[in-house]
Structure 1
Amino acid sequence: MTPLRVTGAWVQLLADWLDHQGLPAPRVRALLCSRRPVDAVPLTLWTELLEQALQMRPELTAQALAVGAMVAPRHLGVLGYLILASATLGEAMQAYRRYERLFYGTNLATVEIDGSHVRLCWPASASTGRLADTVAIAALVAFQRRLLGNLFVLESVSFAFAPPGHPLEGQAYEAFFACKVHFSAPETAVVLPLESLDSRLPGSDPYLRALLDSQAQVLLREAPDTGEIDRAVQQALIHCLPEGRVTLARIAIQLHLSVRSLQRRLAERKICWRQLLDQTREQLACEYLADASLSATDIAFLLGFSEQSAFNRAFRRWTGSSPECYRRRLASVPEM
């Protein structure tokens, strides 16, 4: 199965929640801000960030619901604006199914018609975990409620994860979704009245929808260029280095490749993984040192070093100079 990921636009939901709660969370924010909206974010990292952030407010009940409730079209990228421009809820659902791969890196959802109900389902094997699943389904519901108001009615919601340990949390789920919520279910599912698919969306715009549809199709066709694999790896490194756990396996996940495939493609370009890692770090270090607002400790963190002394040793090995001397030389060069 293709490793699941989300987008850089999506993880900004958490930044918005941190703002709403007035939480500084510098480490979490640094990782969130290092992602551009179009970047792929490994699901493991997204889950870790959610856990770290929500632990800062343990007194709140079912905080993941509140994170999802902050959803805006920009968090979904082109898919969000496609939904806004759709004519009906049914058309919006079709757009989600068609372009879900832009969000998760693969298509997971199915739509089932059962008598007078329609079920939007995700298999239990594709569950992204309690927090990430809750944020995703809460966001889906909040997004449609914002568009349709009282016309958006749920019959039931199901989650593959186990029920919350505290009764108040279970009650919070039912209060948020305003319907029966099932846990430990064989699939994640949202069940709606079939007639709701005909509900008209207020932002319907056929011309804009056609433009966005074309853009989404282009994005689906895009794939890493074999001849540019070194640049793709470097781009992935820029975003993974602050996590401090850069390995070939993590970069492979970021690029949606197996480790073996990535090794083969680097070998075809006669590129050594370790040399590319060092080269990328050296280039970034020189750029960061030119920014007077960044301390040596900041730069060491951005480059994935556990200690500033490790960064100092590496920089001397790369350039034959210390970071301090390099920065002083930059400062002494007159502007043209």
Structure 2
Amino acid sequence: MRINGAWTGLLTDWLDQNQLDAPGTRSRLARYAPDDSVPVAVWRELLEDTLDTIATGVAPELDVGACVQPRHVGVLGYLVLACETLGDAMLAYQRYERLFYGEQLAQIDTDGTDAEIRWPQTPEPLGQKADGVAIAALVTFLRRQLDDPPPPSGIAFHDVVSPEQASAYEAFFDCPVVFGDDFVRVRFPLHSLQMPMPRRDPTLRQLLNRQADALLQTLSRDQLLEEQLHRNLLRLLAEGDPTLERMARRLHMAPRTLQRRLARHGMSWQQWLDHAREQLARQYLADPGLNLNEIALLLGFSEQSAFTRSFQRWTGETPGGRRRVRDRRS
């Protein structure tokens, strides 16, 4: 599961709005272009690190979500704007959700009084801060686009929060908010599904539908390549020689072909390898059963010092420093 790179711009815009320097966070955010895929674990850690370190207030994730603009959601955001009604927009989001999360997760249901869009808990949870950003962005987006938008009928989240945070959530959403639910839910009065979208445009909608369909086809091919790369990388790292040539051989393609396919996403083999190693390093550092020397070997480094230098280049901190931060937070 992943998010699109454009979504990380929410955090950049929040930093700008609050005039916060946060050079470490900005450096990490700058790595992602709008059409990049950002693993959920990376987004969750980046968001939590930033808000825990420099944010004030009880629920700063809501302020991050309130910075949302259509560009943060890519073509999906503009497609929703071009829909005829709120109900039409909800169905369009569900149809093209894979462009945002890489998977189709949203479920839509109605009863006698309300319509509900909900998301189940996933094997790789987003966490309360990232869920809070997402739902705050959804509600803010609709508030800005609809004439006299009704408040949600109710909202629910997976995680449990403090009473102070719960009060902040109810004040922001102007509706009852439940915590500790099996789903993240947003409910709207059923009659509100007929509300017209002020920027509806049938011609633009057709064009954006075609673009979104084409992106879904590309996404399927790219996801297959990403899965193949990650599956074979672990073997190459264990052998201590993760080169472009060896990876291409495992994928039964020429090195130039693999280079071209990576270049379509604006990265070289070394950039992809560094990015993948960084993700794995963060996962391994969260495992107290692995020492730094073992992590270095798992990542294909011949010695711990080489791993330390690379991790500092990727993140601006040492592996030991990163582990101590996680230990303090847990």
TM-score, structure 1 as length reference: 0.70
* Counterpart among 20, 24, 47 of residue 21 in structure 2: 24
Q: What amino acid does structure 2 have at the position aligned with 1:207?
A: T
Correspondence for 1:122: 119
Distance 1:248-1:216 versus aligned 2 partners, 3 A rule: farther
Q: What amino acid does structure 1 have at the position aligned with 2:183?
A: E
RMSD (Å), alpha carbons = 3.0
Q: Following the alignment from structure 1 to structure 2, what is the Cα–Cα distance between the partners of residues 306 and 67? A: 28
Deviation of 1:232 (Å): 4.7
Q: Following the alignment from structure 1 to structure 2, what is the Cα–Cα distance between the partners of residues 246 and 81? A: 31
Distance 1:40-1:237 versus aligned 2 partners, 3 A rule: farther
The answer as to 2:183 corresponding to 1:181 is no
Q: For residues 16-95 of structure 1, what are the structure 2 equivalents within 5 Å?
A: 16-95=13-92
Deviation of 1:153 (Å): 2.5
**Contact persistence 2:97–2:105 (CA under 8 A):** yes
Q: For residues 1-336 of structure 1, what are the structure 2 equivalents within 5 Å?
A: 4-125=1-122, 127-162=125-160, 164-165=161-162, 167-222=163-218, 223-224=221-222, 227=253, 228-232=257-261, 235=268, 238=271, 241=274, 245=278, 247=280, 301=313
Distance 1:133-1:217 versus aligned 2 partners, 3 A rule: same
What is the aligned-residue identity percentage? 41
Deviation above 4 Å: which 4+ runs of structure 1? Answer: 230-237, 246-250, 302-307
Q: What are the superposed Cα offsets for residues 15-73 of structure 1, whole Å, 9 maximum, x if unpaired? A: 00111111111111111111110000011110111112112334312000000011000
Correspondence for 1:327: none
Segment drifting more, 188-197 vs 52-61? 52-61
Deviation of 1:106 (Å): 0.3
**Contact persistence 2:59–2:168 (CA under 8 A):** yes
SS in 2 for 1:119: strand
Q: What amino acid does structure 2 have at the position aligned with 1:147?
A: Q
Q: Following the alignment from structure 2 to structure 1, what is the Cα–Cα distance between the partners of residues 25 and 270? A: 18
Q: What are the superposed Cα offsets for residues 267-303 of structure 1, whole Å, 9 maximum, x if unpaired? A: xxxxxx979xxxxxxxxxxxxxxxxxxxxx99x8269
Distance 1:221-1:186 versus aligned 2 partners, 3 A rule: same
**Contact persistence 2:157–2:178 (CA under 8 A):** yes
TM-score, structure 2 as length reference: 0.71
Gapped runs of 5+ residues in structure 1?
A: 251-272, 276-296, 308-336
Distance 1:249-1:53 versus aligned 2 partners, 3 A rule: closer
Q: Following the alignment from structure 2 to structure 1, what is the Cα–Cα distance between the partners of residues 269 and 65? A: 27
Q: Following the alignment from structure 1 to structure 2, what is the Cα–Cα distance between the partners of residues 71 and 171? A: 22
Deviation of 1:229 (Å): 3.8
Distance 1:157-1:246 versus aligned 2 partners, 3 A rule: closer
Q: Following the alignment from structure 1 to structure 2, what is the Cα–Cα distance between the partners of residues 230 and 243? A: 16
Distance 1:242-1:148 versus aligned 2 partners, 3 A rule: same
**Contact persistence 1:112–1:118 (CA under 8 A):** yes
**Contact persistence 1:28–1:53 (CA under 8 A):** yes
Q: What amino acid does structure 2 have at the position aligned with 1:179?
A: C
Distance 1:47-1:246 versus aligned 2 partners, 3 A rule: closer
Q: What amino acid does structure 2 have at the position aligned with 1:221?
A: Q
Q: How many residues align?
A: 259
Q: Following the alignment from structure 2 to structure 1, what is the Cα–Cα distance between the partners of residues 129 and 317? A: 29
Distance 1:236-1:102 versus aligned 2 partners, 3 A rule: farther
